[in-house]
Amino acid sequence: MKSKSGGEVMDGSDLMELVENEKVFSNFVDHKFQELDTDCDGKLSVKELQPAVADIGAALGLPAQGSSPESDHIYREVLDEFTHGKQEKISKIEFKEVLSDILLGMAAGLKRDPVVILRMDGEDLFEFLNSPNFEPEMLSIFSEIELPDGSLRDYIIKAFEKLTVDHGMPPATDPWVANNIVEPAIKSLCIEPQQPVSQETFLVKFKRATENVVQHLKEQPAIVAHSQNTFDGSGIKRLLSNKFELDKTMDSALNSVPKDHHGKISKAYLRLALDVLAPSAGLPPFGAVDQMDEIMIEALKMFNADDGKLVKEVEFKKLLTEVLGSIMLQLQGNPISVFVNSVVHEPLASSSTLLQT
């Protein structure tokens, strides 16, 4: 069921227009630079750049800094783009150049994989609740739930998790949705802990819970970023067929991994290097898509990436190219389509709102 609320499509065109309009972009940079330059010395220190780096990470869909080594590495890469790997302050010109590159990169990503921003206020869920499809679909979902010792409450929560934005339901696994929408909706049902679970009781209670969710969404609409990506290997094919772009991307990946004093690299860093070049190859970051993680892990295993053997840069590049080729072949044979729904939360007070135009 398509959402009647439509939604704002983010396809990168606004970012592209911003950067390409020299006068507007210069004014934008002036404003943001002044906002970040807290000591008003005309330069940005590493500390002053941190809010900007955090904003860019959030816009890229990364978890907060400190959440994982992989995402922290990307945050460091963003910071290094600004500072060139040094601890020195940067000028407004340098800030403008790097910000331009980052925004254009983000625009290209959004053009390739647009994001639709949906305001979920319960209207579509109410429509689903009152449609002839509600009962048969919920009974089908009930039959799919495997909770041998689960309570009626557990079944209801699991059922909400199986509903999608097409039903008008924001992702119930999101902590904000769970705490502010689902839990209060179920709590008001006063379900007895030992109440038997049957199709009939499930359907009655779930319908009432859904009515409550509709009401909570009316009071607190959820803003959801919805996107659909199909990974079919075409991005890898494009990269491998463009020698200049491939060499440039490989060099960037190699610069991101540690080397010993002989310039050799451990094969254990193949996954890290793969993550660095993932955007250029049309691949998601490692950890973002389970099905893709499995394919990437399998490809890395084929080339014994975990044996820790030290290899020269040329050999490392060759292995990385072969890993990409292996992933491409698997995706060409079995493309993976992924729907991503993320609840968009208000920015933290410490955020510089760098990307708000």
CB-count burial class (<10 Å; 0-12, 13-18, 19+) for 193 = exposed
CB 170 within 8 Å of CB 209: no
Is the pLDDT confidence value at 61 over 80?
A: no
Mean pLDDT for the stretch of residues 154-180: 91
> What pLDDT, on the 0 to 100 scale, is given for residue 47?
87
Domain boundaries, the chain: 8-117, 122-220, 233-334
Phi, psi of 54 (to 5 degrees): -65, -40
335 pLDDT band, cuts 50/70/90, is: very high
230 pLDDT band, cuts 50/70/90, is: confident
> What pLDDT, on the 0 to 100 scale, is given for residue 9?
64
Whole-angstrom distance, CA of residue 5 vs CA of residue 316:
49
> What pLDDT, on the 0 to 100 scale, is given for residue 7?
60
Is the pLDDT confidence value at 202 over 90?
A: yes
Range list of H helices, the chain = 13-20, 22-36, 46-59, 69-83, 92-112, 123-129, 134-144, 152-162, 175-177, 183-187, 199-219, 234-241, 243-255, 270-277, 290-302, 313-333
DSSP H/E element including 9: strand 8-10
Could you identify the residue written with the tokens 């934005």? 165
Q: Which two tokens stand for residue 256?
A: 């991101």
Question: C-alpha distances in angstroms, 51 versus 44, 175, 331?
Answer: 11, 24, 37
Could you identify the residue written with the tokens 């072969």? 322
Mean pLDDT for the stretch of residues 246-258: 90
**In this structure, which long-range contacts are made by residues 102-105, counting pairs with CB atoms below 8 Å and at least 24 apart in sequence?**
102/56, 102/78, 103/15, 103/18, 103/19, 103/355, 104/15, 104/16, 104/19, 105/279
Mean pLDDT for the stretch of residues 98-125: 77
> What pLDDT, on the 0 to 100 scale, is given for residue 77?
73
Mean pLDDT for the stretch of residues 10-29: 81
* Chain Cα centroid distance, residue 248: 25
Decide: helix, strand or coil at residue 87: coil
Pairing of β 310-311 and β 265-266: antiparallel
Tell me which of 269 and 77 has the higher pLDDT. 269
8-117: what fold? Recoverin; domain 1 (1.10.238)
CB 228 within 8 Å of CB 342: no
> What pLDDT, on the 0 to 100 scale, is given for residue 44?
87
CB 38 within 8 Å of CB 126: no
Average pLDDT of the residues of the chain: 84
- In the chain, the N- to C-terminal Cα span, in Å, equals 33
User: What is the strand order of the sheet 8-10 is part of?
Assistant: 8-10, 115-120, 222-231, 336-343
**Cα torsion 25, 30, 31, 36: sign:** positive
Whole-angstrom distance, CA of residue 213 vs CA of residue 142:
18
Whole-angstrom distance, CA of residue 341 vs CA of residue 354:
23
Whole-angstrom distance, CA of residue 52 vs CA of residue 50:
5
